[in-house]
Chain A
Amino acid sequence: MNAHISQKQLAEQHLLEATKEFQKCMQCGKCRSVCPVFKEFGNELFVARGKNKIAQKLVSGDLQITKRVEQAINECLNCKTCSANCPAGVKPENVVLRMRWYITTQRGLHFFKALIFRQLLWRKWPITLGCAIVGIAQKVLFGIGPKNPVRHLFPLFGFSKRRNFPQLAIRSAQSMLPEVSPAKNGPRKARIGYFTGCAGNLIYTNVAKSVVDILTGYGYEVVIPKAQKCNGTPVLANGDYEGAKRLMVHNFELFQKYDLDAIVVACSSCGMSLKKEIKVFIDDSPELQEFTSKVFDINEFIEKNLEIKPEQLSRLPYKVTYHDPCHMVRGQGIKDQPRNLLKMIPGVEFTEMKNADTCCGSAGSYCITHYDTSIKINNHKIKDIQEANVNMVATGCPTCVMHIADNLAQHNSHEKTRFVVELLADSMRAAGTI
């Protein structure tokens, strides 16, 4: 591993990798017809072809890093829609990420970002404690209804006043659940590591509980290494290559110690990063190949390995549609598995919504830094959900859930937002299976 690489070498490496990517661009303009961000702005500067050209000019020295350059480079959801549709096989999100990392080598990391990515996420306990305090405040002192005056404090923390927040965990999933949960109902089939992700640990703890209950109920031993940290997605997306690398190396080394047969995740971005993005940060080796080949999204793992019999599921009276998270459908190629699981549940009436695989605009921290645009993009999603005539949207990504639920509430729309794995667990619990 390039432990002592200088900033200059790092900068050159980023420029080289970006060049390899953008020089494949034929400039045909097809990305203009698919990019969700371009659809809102209508300015070539914010579409993949324009960003490729800006990157090319930065590399050639014909353009310096300016505010407008940073704005162009930061207006990207990493939704991979342009990649999936590019006739020349360009992956523009890789140009964007490399340029963000390059800009950091030239401009340094913003103080707040450095504090969050290199101190708080790394130490972990301040984040867990912070969530618990906010969680208690949410429960005890005030609700977060639209008329609550506390909303006026949101901008202090970089959040829009309009935003609706999910309840944060007073007790994190990692503190509630044991490090090792033994297999139930017969002999152990395999030993599974569970990477909870920050959202599964600190917000959607019911998802974490559902994962553990389902897997142990079907004969798997589940290990949640307590020293696991953020997978690095928000860190790398915000320009901090080195911070992301430190987290990736940490998790890679940690999970190797547990002698696991597989590693499951219930977050689309965590899954994509542990399967794929990690290869950008850690040099290829047999150990890395073994590690990445062991990682499965929970939907993928359950659909492939669990023999779920009809009598093990109880009826759930929901009309459901499914939203494809970008990092699931394009990031990992997982499209049918979650749908198959939903259709398996008796009573669930499944309707495919229009444009199920278009980005919902949340894009992790993009919806914090670019809230207005992210809501405009999400408005298309809300329309498609409403037209599907359902009472529930199921998906497999925490930030999609958060963003869609927020905007549904702003539209006074009645649809609930849930994870597929939660619904499956509900159905199994009601049937007494787990």
Chain B
Amino acid sequence: MKKSIIDELVSIFGQENVLTEREDMIAYSYDAAPVEIEPEAVVFPTTTEQVSKLMKMAYREEIPVTPRGQGSGLSGGSIPLKKGIVLSMDKMKKMIEFDPNNRLITVEAGFTTSDIDPIVSEANLFYPPDPGSVAFSTIGGNVAENAGGLRGLKYGVTKNYVKMLKVVLPQGDIVTVGSKCVKHVAGFNSELIFVGSEGLLGIMTEVTLALLPIPQHRESALAIFNSLDSAAQAVSDIIAAGVTPSTMEFMDNATINAVQNFKDCGLPRDAEAVLLIETDGEMNSAKWEMSVIEEQVKKNDIREFQRAQNTAERDALFAGRRVALNALASVKPNLILEDATVKRSVLPDMVRGITAIAKKHNVQVGIFGHAGDGNLHPTFLIDQSDKEEMARCHKAVDELFQLAIDLDGTISGEHGIGLEKKPYLKNQIGDAGIKMLQDMKRMFDPKNLLNPGKMFDMPGEAA
């Protein structure tokens, strides 16, 4: 990178907020996806104006810019594919306003998601989306990836809570989209264009989120099934009975065994599946919902239904699910965590299909995830140094995505497309779908400088 550009970066951000040494570039060459590309500079903005100045300079000098939060994304969305400048938002982490009367909180994009609840719980409010990385990922990253979590079935995902955004557009203009009002129809529903945009259309610097009252009561239960079909049928039966659990987590036999090898959580090794179910709300209604669930679940081939009577029992029931990923991680040196998602009605076909694919390509897989919203996490257990196994695993992943598409599902429920799933997006949305995305990208970012090469290629670019 030219010295004059670095000097300009230093004048915008200050010496301590500009990195250019090779070792630092290595540290910003990756996120939680297995791809590495070193940028030429890393900058840490502290104000929206600095981000705007950066984009104006980037447009003048034609330098690619890749925004980044904590780098915990699983799809490679924050990897600087075309090098250039990494824009690390994690020093913009102030709480701007908490407005309990309107049940809103406004924070800077680098604010850590799990830091919201301690602030808002004092007014008996909470922020529902809880992705696996909630303790360390930033709200900006959550919005850019439209992050999900365990409570999607009842509470939805990030997009359901985004009210207003301050965004720096690729050419440096600062816009505020959305509104703090419950209803607003002034202009397009434009804040949602940025939710899930994976940093391609603009850089969010401030986010206003809707909050909900904390449910008064929570009921928890663990159901152990003798067959996969009965677990899946139980999920359908529960929904059909008119109940909406806040959580309905699934673990398959391979995951159960990995958990038991890792730490004895009291799960039977020969069970084909377990469901962890929670209901919440007003106490009587949460209890009633759970009793309906118990009734529905027991219609199926169930071995055991345990209902927690107190917090300690609840923690014991959830112990296995909490360590599931750690347990799977300890089986082999590495893992590939996917998030292909289907309608919950075809969940058994999906689970059976994944198991068959893994068997066909001789790779180990553990399946756990959010059964209520059909968002499974098939986790392939691999050794990256074994090239032959990696090749087999890639084939299995290809087939997994096709299976999800064939079942009318989606290749990504909550991790995003980024680099990892870019080759598969066309299979799901078709040529016309890709062209629409390209056209939108060109409108916002005619020179293709903001997070270029993610999600899809622009026409004329090498695949």
A residues in contact (CB < 8 Å) with B: 23-24, 26-30, 32-33, 42-45, 50, 53-54, 57, 63, 66, 68-69, 72, 87-89
Contact = CB atoms under 8 A, between A and B. Distances in A.
A26 B44 contact: no
Contacts of B23: 45, 54, 63, 66, 68-69, 72
Nearest to A68: B23
B329 A27 contact: no
A26 B335 CA distance: 8
Contacts of B334: 23-24, 26
Given A23-B385, A29-B31, 15 more contacts: A26-B334, A27-B30, A29-B72, A30-B133, A30-B135, A32-B70, A32-B71, A45-B23, A53-B26, A53-B30, A54-B23, A72-B23, A87-B329, A89-B326, A89-B329
9 contacts: A23-B384, A24-B333, A29-B31, A44-B71, A53-B29, A53-B30, A53-B36, A57-B26, A68-B24
A43 B19 contact: yes
Interface string B356-400: 000000000000000000000000000011000000000000000
B329 A88 contact: yes
A243 to B, nearest CB: 27
A400 to B, nearest CB: 26
Contacts of A66: 22-23
Q: Which 8 pairs across A and B sit closest by C-beta, in order of nearness?
A: A33-B136, A29-B72, A44-B27, A50-B27, A45-B27, A68-B23, A88-B329, A87-B326
A57 B135 CA distance: 28
Nearest to B332: A24
Contact of B26 (A29, A30, A54): A54
A147 B333 CA distance: 56
Given A42-B44, A44-B71, A27 B32 contact: yes
B333 A23 contact: yes
Contact of B136 (A23, A27, A30, A44): A30
Contacts of B27: 43-45, 50, 53-54, 72
B21 interface: yes
B22 A29 contact: no
Interface string B111-144: 0100000000000000000000101110000000
Contacts of B385: 23
B384 to A, nearest CB: 7
A360 to B, nearest CB: 23
Nearest to A30: B136
B90 interface: yes
Contacts of B216: none
A33 B326 contact: no
Interface in B318-375: 325-326, 329-330, 333-335
A29 B71 contact: yes
Nearest to B72: A29
Nearest to B383: A23
Contacts of A68: 21-24
B32 A28 contact: yes
B21 A29 contact: no
Contact of B329 (A26, A32, A63): A26
Q: Which of A29, A53, A87, A88 has the most CB of B within 10 A?
A: A29
A45 B31 CA distance: 13
A72 B21 CA distance: 12
B133 A29 contact: yes
B44 A29 contact: no
B24 A87 contact: no
Contacts of B13: none
Nearest to A42: B91
Contacts of B329: 24, 26, 87-89
Contacts of A27: 30-34
Contacts of A50: 26-27
A77 B37 CA distance: 29
B105 to A, nearest CB: 20
Contacts of B335: 26
Contact of A29 (B19, B29, B32, B325): B32
A419 B181 CA distance: 57
A396 to B, nearest CB: 28
Given A26-B335, A33-B112, A63 B22 contact: yes
A99 to B, nearest CB: 13
A26 B32 contact: yes
A29 B326 contact: no
B88 to A, nearest CB: 8
B28 interface: yes
Interface string B264-297: 0000000000000000000000000000000000
A68 to B, nearest CB: 4
Contacts of A72: 23, 27
A87 B325 contact: yes
Q: Which of A26, A27, A28, A45 has the most CB of B within 10 A?
A: A28
Contacts of B44: 42
B27 to A, nearest CB: 4
A78 to B, nearest CB: 20
Contacts of B330: 88-89
Nearest to B31: A27
Interface string B41-71: 0001000000000000000000000000011
A30 B335 CA distance: 16
A23 B133 CA distance: 21
A57 B325 CA distance: 27
A104 B36 CA distance: 28
B202 to A, nearest CB: 23
A24 B30 CA distance: 16
B326 A88 contact: yes
Nearest to B137: A29
Nearest to A72: B23
A42 B17 CA distance: 10
Contacts of B26: 45, 50, 53-54, 57, 63
A28 B21 contact: no
A411 to B, nearest CB: 26
A57 B31 CA distance: 16
Nearest to A20: B333
Given A24-B329, A54-B26, A68-B21, A29 B70 contact: yes
Nearest to A45: B27
A307 to B, nearest CB: 31
